[in-house]
Amino acid sequence: MLDVGELIEKYNIVLDEEQKRAAFSDRKNILLLAVPGSGKTTVMIARLGYLVKCRAVSPSSILAVTYSVAGAGEMQKRYISRFGDDGIRISTIHSLCVSVIDTYCKKKHSRPFELMTEEGMRSSIVRGIMRSNGSYPTDSDVNDALTKITYCANMMLSDGEIKEKIELEGRDFSELYGQYRQYKIDNHLMDFDDQLVYALKVLRSYPKIRDQYAMQYAYICVDEAQDTSYIQHQIIDLLCSKGAGLFMVGDEDQSIYGFRAAYPDALMSFEKDREDAEVFLIEKNYRSTGKIVSSADRFISRNENRRKKNMKADGGEGIPPIFRQLPNLGLIPDYLLQKVQSESFSSLAVLARQSDSLIPTIDIFSEKGIRFNLRGRDSLFFSHFVIQDIKDIIAFSEDPYDASLFIKLYYKFCCGLTRTEAENAVANNSGKKMLPFPEYIEKNPIISEKKRIKMHFTAAALRSMPSKNMLGKLKAIIDGTGYGEYLLDRPNDMVKIRALYCLADRHSSKEDFYARLSELEAEIKNGFSGGNITLSTIHSVKGMEFEQVVIIDAYNGIMPSIPEDSVKKTPLSVEERRTVEEDRRIFYVGMTRAAKQLELLTAKSNYGIPLPGTEYVDQLRSFASVKEEKNPEKTVKDLEGLASEYSAGDRIIHRVFGYGNIVSVSVKGRKHFASLVFDNGGKRRLCLEECVKREIIEKKYD
């Protein structure tokens, strides 16, 4: 056996004092809380080497597990390169569960259920169940259902809890979940979640099998403990029932997989739940510069359900985080294009909370030939109901006599029509005197005045759409038809609208816009790779680092996902408080991917709609280098084109004079002049090119 000094010298182990105390401690149960960039994997590998080389622990009696197959493979390679292939095996907890299930089946002389290794098989089953229940789900609908199925299994929710707590848009999730489980039983199938469920059931129900595994492993080492789900923690506890020593490595500040039932609470109660336990902190960040580290540390300190840590940097101070606010959300892809074309860097990551927010940047990078890596191939954006709704509303504006479209859309215009009223309209509005359906509702005296007034504005917006470019159509849909009101409580879906605005700004005709959507869907499914630029959600780059990081998704309702005005006005439930804290952790993880430069990129407005700031923006701005950006100079041709979109009769809002109407438009030389009458009685003659340039005028449909 080696002593610690000999181990360090022989295997060239480089650890700081905090890391050494954790790796070489003789405490039975150890929780190592490691801040981002602190070398936690190095510590865990050193711990395994210490157990084998210094404590003479047999490799076969050590269970080392980590979160993912890729992570396990990488850690295995690093261990072997340091200590040689001495029999240590690093795997996932799912691999252990397979062993437990196989042991049970051999003892009972039964055949294990067949594992569905392809995610497509699960999707196909869930889609079939949804269709049998009378619906036609999109890929996005199926994905939402599968995410909730995984959550229920990993949180070990009872049927009653599922019925009470879990909702799925437009469907009875409890019924769907029951049908999915029954399908698997009837067809002798199991998914990866079932591996955990069945293994836990075996360990609880068969003491001899539980004792066999509990006695086999004298030491259990768990990496990425903050991502370990509730059911996985239960399995680990059972394996420790015969006195195994537990070494857990994680950081509750980096727990961002709540939707998959990650359970950071287990880290908070570690020493209370176990004898001879100690919590070690490694607080030195070797990745990021001092300014980034101090900013991130101050930001995450606002969370309450965490251990107090004081993250500090090993390197120099560096530059402060950059806060950059553009005038319009649509300028973000152009700014990023300019950045990658004009700056040099070893690696750059553009990070968002939602993959939908990356679509406009993917669009412009792809068309301009910029090489980049896209983490994941999430093309669900293109099959989401919002995209289909937009296409349906545009089609309805072109043919307002289409009864099938009217029935699909009437309630999404938020005019208050009932199903019966809509069906009566279809039945009665026919023949030679048939009217466009919005006009029929507007003129029907049987319908309440309030509903008819709302439909009046919907009809006006629909009538205005055929002559508009694609961005004008989208703005009419959101601002004028009532569809924006329909999406009001769906902030995640409004991200899709923001992305569509940006795409429409670059692909102005309907034909070009639709064609580009199809092209992008195919491109994203095929994937992008190459170069030193990465576009990704924050979740998909956990554990990675980049020289520069730009975060683009810090908006109320997205990050944070619970709008801050809601947080301030009402007491939060336990679940809402969890959500608020996980949102902060997601942003914190994004911040700490940056080694040398961190930039928060936001916008003042979304094509005229103000984008309110958040605590994330305010806090980072308070200790960042603030750079307010002006609009890029538009060419004379750009201004003429935008000005020509205004015509007599348009309803507008002026930043100074308020609401009004354009009475007439005249052209003098190369400039357009509008005569306006404002609601306050004022009259003005304004140069439209100048108004457009200064972004002080906007069309409205109210």
**78-136: per-residue pLDDT in tens?**
999 999 999 999 999 999 999 999 999 999 999 989 999 888 899 999 999 999 988 78
pLDDT higher for 639 or 465? 465
pLDDT higher for 681 or 472? 472
Can you give the pTM of this predicted structure? 0.85
In this prediction, residue 625 carries a pLDDT of 62
Instruction: Return d(Cα 253, Cα 413) in angstroms, integer.
Output: 42
In this prediction, residue 409 carries a pLDDT of 96
Q: Using pLDDT thresholds of 50, 70 and 90, give the confidence band for residue 679.
A: confident
Nearest CA to 522 out of 366, 365, 349, 358 is that of 366
Q: Using pLDDT thresholds of 50, 70 and 90, give the confidence band for residue 393.
A: very high
Nearest CA to 44 out of 28, 56, 33, 57 is that of 33
In this prediction, residue 568 carries a pLDDT of 63
Helix (H) or strand (E) holding 406: helix 403-409
246-286 residue pLDDT tens = 999 999 999 999 988 999 999 999 999 998 899 999 999 99
Instruction: Return d(Cα 459, Cα 441) in angstroms, integer.
Output: 9
In this prediction, residue 564 carries a pLDDT of 67
Cα dist from 391 to 469, 497, 541, whole Å:
14, 12, 33
Q: Is the pLDDT of residue 365 over 70?
A: yes
Instruction: Return d(Cα 482, Cα 491) in angstroms, integer.
Output: 16
The lowest-confidence range among 444-453, 456-465, 563-572 is 563-572
Q: What percent of the chain has pLDDT over 70?
A: 95
Q: What percent of the chain has pLDDT over 90?
A: 70
Mean pLDDT score of the chain, rounded to an integer? 90
Total number of residues shown for the chain: 702
Q: Is the pLDDT of residue 475 over 60?
A: yes
51-72 residue pLDDT tens = 999 999 999 999 999 988 988 9
Instruction: Return d(Cα 629, Cα 161) in angstroms, integer.
Output: 49
Burial 297-324 (b: 16+ CB within 10 A, else e): bebbbebeebeebebebbbeebebbbbb
301 token code pair? 């300190």
Q: Using pLDDT thresholds of 50, 70 and 90, give the confidence band for residue 702.
A: very low
Query: Mean pLDDT across the stretch 424-433?
Result: 90
Nearest CA to 202 out of 122, 96, 78 is that of 96
Q: What is the residue-wise DSSP string for 521-584?
A: HHHHHH----SSEEEEESGGGTT--EEEEEE----TTTSSSS-HHHHHHSPPPHHHHHHHHHHH
Query: Mean pLDDT across the stretch 234-248?
Result: 95
In this prediction, residue 52 carries a pLDDT of 96
